[in-house]
Amino acid sequence: MKLNNSKRLERLHDRYQNGDLSRRTFLTLTAAAAAAAGLDMPWMRQALAAVEEVRFDGWGGTVQDAIDKYAFQPYTAKTKLKVVQGTFGDEDEIITKIKTSKPGDYQVIHSSGVNYYIKYVNAGLTSEINEANIPNMVNVLQPMIEPFRKLTPKLSAVPYDYGTTGIAYNTKVISPEEAKEKGAALLLDKKYAGKVGGYSDMTTRVWYAALATGQDPNNLKDMDAIWAKVRETRDLAKKFWSSGAELMDLLSKGEIVVTDAWSGRVAALQDQGAPIGYLDPAGSYAWMEDMLILKGSPMAECEELINFMLDPATSIAVAEGQSYPPSLDPTKVKLTEKIEKLPAFDKSGTMKALTFADPVYWATNEDAWTKQWNRISKGA
């Protein structure tokens, strides 16, 4: 049977998708065929474009600056593959954009761990990573990988860093002793009314209300008490911040003296000499972040990029730059003294000292709790 050019290229594409051809061979043959026959098929443009760039979307600020400086720029210098970057302040916003975009428009997301991973999974936005293409995964903490694999045995994301949302306080106003004694209740101390901050996020608000009412954040029994505490914090707050940059600005200028806060952002402020203390009260909200590859992305290029990011030298440099511990297993990889001093760092590699959200429990309740949080945040 004689094949026409379209059929021949379709079969070539099928062989590539099935792993029978390397990316380089596939693209070389495709480009040759396109030039010879003048064909222009949708998958060809995507495949050829993948040779030139990968899109990444992250949290911006000091975190993304560190990733760009210590990972993306060296990667581009080595491979000539450009990393086009976007930012977001709220991951729900980027998920909404992804849902209304074409597959492949967004590719790698610096995502907020398993409780967001499940949202991508439920929306059908995830890919399937070929882990053989990311050999540096061998050094990633297994306790960080396991929660993702429970949701999808074939991973779409690779854990990259972690941290906590603890309590930050101005040490010129609040002593370490007072912070330790009051813990989560510090956010509800009327003495600091008008100087309290907090993350404008349902999960954080409900989590800290759970700690204040003595409930298990992964098994809440009294939601009326939760919402009452959320309202108390709202009434004492000067402002609920919505980004790491805003958090750092409010703390550094002294506009707020106590707030729940991301550990890495506080560490960055401390490095700058700001009088900011940090405390992880019992049950403090721990989270991990991952590099998520979306469905429709150029998989080989994205996997190559993530493997480069997980190289110990790269990952350590990024971790020191963004002030969050890397996902590298400290029992396998020698980390630096600076990383070992970062807030939330778990030297055991077991992660047992940290309390993470149960992704299924929180996903089950998310819609109802978000609606209530939205009402309360507007004054209800």
pLDDT in tens, 165-193: 999 999 999 999 999 999 999 999 999 99
Report which of 359, 171, 185, 322 is spatially closest to residue 244, judged by C-alpha positions. 322
Q: What's the confidence (pLDDT) of residue 159? A: 98
Cβ 230 vs Cβ 373: under 8 Å: yes
**Regarding predicted confidence, which is higher, 227 or 13?**
227
- Angle of helix 5-17 relative to helix 42-50, nearest 10 degrees? 50
d(CA 365, CA 245): 29
CB-side exposure of 215: number of CA atoms within 13 Å? Answer: 18
Q: What's the confidence (pLDDT) of residue 2? A: 46
Amino acid identity for residue 240 in this structure: F
Is there a single domain that holds both residue 208 and residue 175?
yes
DSSP E strands: which ranges in 208-284? 237-241, 258-262, 276-279
What is the pTM for the complete model shown?
A: 0.81
Is there a single domain that holds both residue 257 and residue 371?
yes
Cβ 238 vs Cβ 255: under 8 Å: yes
Is there a single domain that holds both residue 373 and residue 248?
yes
Residues 6+ apart with CB under 8 A from 279: 166, 167, 169, 176, 179, 180, 183
Amino acid identity for residue 151 in this structure: L
Which CATH number is 371's domain given? 3.40.190.10
Is there a single domain that holds both residue 225 and residue 124?
no
Tokens of 294: 């979306």
Q: For the chain, give the mean pLDDT.
A: 90
How many domains would you assign to the chain? Answer: 3
pLDDT tens, position by position, 89-140: 889 999 999 999 999 999 999 999 998 999 999 999 999 999 999 999 999 9
CB-side exposure of 63: number of CA atoms within 13 Å? Answer: 28
- Domain boundaries, position 179: 164-285+359-378
